Each structure stands twice: as C-alpha cells, then as structure tokens.
Amino acid sequence: FAGKCVHKLHRNLQSAAKQPPLIQPPARLSTAPQEAVLMRIKSSGSSAERLSQSKSMVLQESDLPKKPISRHRRNQSQHNASVAGGGVAVFEPLVELNGEHLNVAKISESGKKQRKNWTLMWSVLTSDQMLFYKERQQETSLKTGSKPDVLQLCGAIIEWTTEKSSRKNVFQIRTNTGSEYLIQADSYATASKWYDAIRKAVDSSTKLPLRRSNSTEYLPRHGSLPSHGSASPNAKQRNPVHRRSINMFGSSKLKHSASDSTDKNGVKNRLKKFITRRPSMRTLKEKGLIKDRVFGCHLLTLCEREGTTVPRFVHICLDAVDKRGLDADGIYRVSGNLATIQKLRFIVDQEEDLDLDQSQWEDIHVVTGALKLFFRELPEPLFPFRFFQPFVEAVKIKESKLKVQAMKKLIKELPQPNQDTMKLLFNHLHRVLHFSRKNLMSTQGIGIVFGPTLMWPELDAGNMAVNMVYQTQIVEFILIESQDIFNLDRK
C-alpha cells in the first residue's frame, strides 16, 4: 500500500511539472531591489488529488513585470513595515511634524566644538532627518541660497540635558558623524512633543523591523540572517532558499558573525557596569579630583561659595589695574596674548594661589583680557536677561533726570552680588577716565568694549546691530552718571 502511494505521488509530481507554473505577485511590492514572491504549482487532477507546494524564490529585477512606478506618497515604502500572517505587508505611518519655530544651537561639527549661539530656526522633521531654515518662507523656496541645515537622524543619539545650557527644556542630538545640536522650546509641552517625535524617527531610521512570513521574529536592518541569534539552526536547515531572500537587506560588507555580536554584547555589559559603579560628582569633589570652576560659574553661586558679594578674582584684577595700568595705552581696548590669558584662567579654575605681581603677568593687557573673559563666560550676564529690555526702555528716556532715576531704580532691583560687582566695576572705570589723556580711553570707547561684555539678550532673534547700540549707550550713560547712580564720593 505504501508503494502504491509513493508511485501515485510521483506521477502527480511529473504531471504537475509539465504544466507552466502560475506565479501570483504579492498584494504590495516593496521598493527593495529584489523581491521574494510566492509561486504555487497546481496539478491537473481532481480536487481530492490536488497537490499544492509553496516555496520562496528570488526573482531578479529583469524578471519582474514592468509596471509604472507610482510617485504618490501612499505608494512609497515606509520604514516601519511588517509582514502579516497572510503575506500582506502592513505599513505604519512615519512620524513627521510640520514646521515650528525652535531655538537651535550647533555646538559641535564633525567632532570640533563650536561657540554656542542660539538661533530661532524654522524646524521640520521628516522620516530620517531634521531640516532647519532661517526663515519659514525658505521651506518652499527653490533658491540655491536658501538651503537648510540638515541633521541626519540615522544612528543619532537624543537625550535631555541640563549641563550644556542654563535654559529649560533643552535636549541634545548627537549624530553619527560627531555633530551635536541643542534644541530648546519655551514650552515644556512643545519640547516634549518634538523630543518624542525625533526619538521615534531615530529608532525607525536606525532599525528596519521587517518580519518573516512564517515567524514573529524581527530582523535587524543592517544584519543578515547568519548574525540573527534568535533563529534556531534547524530552521536554517529547513529553509535554505529563505536565507537567500533575506540577504537582500544587507550587503556583503555588513555581514557579522555570531562571535562579533557576542563580543559587542560583552563590551556593552562592561560599559554598563562601569557607568553604574562610577563615583558621584559629590564624591569626586570631596576627594579633590574635581574642583568648582570660577570661569563659567553663575555669579550668585560663585559669591555664595566664596562668602562674598563680589568675586575674589574681580577684586584681584581691578586692584592690579589700579596699581600699574591706569595710564597704559588702550587699557581694556588692546587685547593681550590669548595663550597667557588661558593659562591665567586655568590657574584660577584650579584655585591655585594667584599673584598678579609675578613677571609672567607683567603685561597688564593679559589681566584686563582675563577680566573681560570672566564676564563674557558668565551663564547669565552681569545685567540679567530679564532686565535687558527694561534697561533699553530706560535709556530711551530723553530727560536726563528721569533717565537717571529709572537706571537707579533698575539697579536697586538687581540681586546683591550684581549690584556690588557693578558698583565696584563702574567706580574703577570712572578712575580710568581720569587718565584718559594717557590711556586714550573715552566714555564711548569703554561703552563699546563693555557693552556687549556686561549685557546681552537671552535670544539672538533680534537685530544684533541695534542691540549693540543700546548696550553701548546703557554702559556709557551709567559710567557718566555713576556718581549719582551709585552714590559715589565726588573726589
């Protein structure tokens, strides 16, 4: 009986092989270069004796039927695609956000640090990149000069940060090429919305979760079947042709062995253990390995740490200039040697004993350059951000007495360290003016130097030239009326 069944099965296979196969194209074709299709071979016998056999095969591009390619967005393949049980591809929509104004600062490009400049940019999120336009109209403009700044999200890392900026609602994006961006929004809801959308776009562009038709296992985007650790060896032996159909998602350069993935997992585990066991910032400070900085520290924090209302470094610099720099040509206008200024900064940050009477600091312009650098490095300027616009409105007052009263009232509203530091500094600059015939420094020259150094707006969205005019006028007016504003002795 068994022999008859085998002989009958053999005859059915021979008759079926003589008939041309019926190839049924899948319901939806992906835009991949090769496609796995399902070929069904039917016998010409009765319904009871019909034999169906399915197997996966690969057709080259030349074998596929020539059909016009649809350019409609709905017909294009998406990243989040999975194959359901019936072989029908189910697509999930990509995460995209319409344009919106966000504060963007590029702090690094290809591993090279850049100066942090916040700019209000028109931001657009696509499936695998972010586009930053200086103006909203440039999104639809076709001019060559209106190309946006492109941030590639494939392989990027996104995380919230509070160390890179004193602003709130700031998150950082680090690309696989070493570029770093800071993105901020005034509203936490807006920042959180963009953070979640960008993170989903990063995940979808980094991984391609395609599933096999007979399995629920996900395949990595850049890996081939041999590196897929969750598949059993028996499944590989049973479906040797299926292995060919999966290899079309990875090139020969991107194939990895099982030992490579094991090594990578071992490195990740060691890094996780190292991060969890690393000492805290407080422990490092107690052991003296990390010391609090002076440059770049908030004025209130620095004064609380030193127990004063004026930073000690400001006192030391002003005393040195009073001793041997009041008659120096171009004091505060001529720049000192940058390398020597950085050396002085390093010594101050390490809290080492500083003696400006030593021979290495004999150039008084190095001392004045370090003092100006200290004020420029403050996270919030000597004139706080919230007082920038009120001072601008006060300097626009035409009557001199009312202008003095308005300035005096605003200065009294400042925090005590800001008031005392400002009073000491303008009293010193007033002494510099007494030697104007020797040092060739006028009120206008001091205003041009210290205007952008002591105050600047929180957002750079305004006109920089107009702001610089107001900064110079404010410092110049306070310097001229410093005796009335700070109640200084008229000597």
Residue 397 identity: I
| Band of pLDDT at residue 442, cut at 50, 70 and 90 | very high
At CB < 8 A and 24+ separation, what contacts does 242-249 make? 242/56, 242/212, 244/58, 245/34, 245/36, 245/56, 245/57, 245/58, 246/212, 246/219, 248/32, 248/33, 248/34, 248/36, 248/58, 249/32, 249/208, 249/210, 249/219, 249/221, 249/224
Tokens of 162: 């509070």
pLDDT number for residue 231: 42
In 3-state terms the chain splits into helix, strand, coil percentages (rounded to 5) of: 45, 15, 40
Mind spelling out the 3-state secondary structure of 96-117? CEEEEEEEEEEEEECCEECCCC
| pLDDT tens profile 75-99 | 444 444 444 444 444 444 444 567 8
Average pLDDT estimate for 381-385: 94
At 387, is the secondary structure helix, strand, or coil?
Answer: helix
pLDDT number for residue 3: 66
Which residue matches tokens 């290495």? 360
What's the mean pLDDT when you consider all of the chain? Answer: 75
Q: Distance between CA 301 and CA 294 in Å, rounded?
A: 10
Q: Distance between CA 216 and CA 201 in Å, rounded?
A: 23
Provide the whole-model pTM. 0.46
Q: Distance between CA 491 and CA 478 in Å, rounded?
A: 18
30 phi and psi, to 5 degrees?
A: -80, 165
| pLDDT tens profile 95-148 | 456 788 899 998 888 888 888 888 888 888 888 888 888 877 665 654 445 678
**DSSP E strand boundaries for 60-194:** 81-83, 89-91, 97-109, 112-113, 119-125, 129-133, 149-152, 157-160, 170-174, 180-184
pLDDT number for residue 260: 61
Cα Dmax for the chain: 127
Q: Would you say how long the chain is, in residues?
A: 491
216 phi and psi, to 5 degrees?
A: -105, 15
35-41 and 157-160 strand pairing: unpaired
Rg of the chain in Å (alpha carbons): 35
Average pLDDT estimate for 168-191: 89
133 touches 148 (CB < 8 A): yes
| Among 181, 165, 197, CA closest to 459 | 165
- Which helix (H) or strand (E) element contains residue 187? none
Please give the distance of CA 46 from its chain centroid, rounded to a whole number. 67
CB atoms closer than 10 angstroms to residue 61: 8
pLDDT number for residue 389: 93
| Residue of 212 and 394 predicted with greater confidence | 394
Residue-wise over 354-389: b if at least 16 C-beta within 10 A, else e? eebeeeebebbbbbbbbbbbbbeebeebbbbeebbe
Q: Name the least confident of 6-10, 64-68, 384-388, 453-457.
A: 64-68
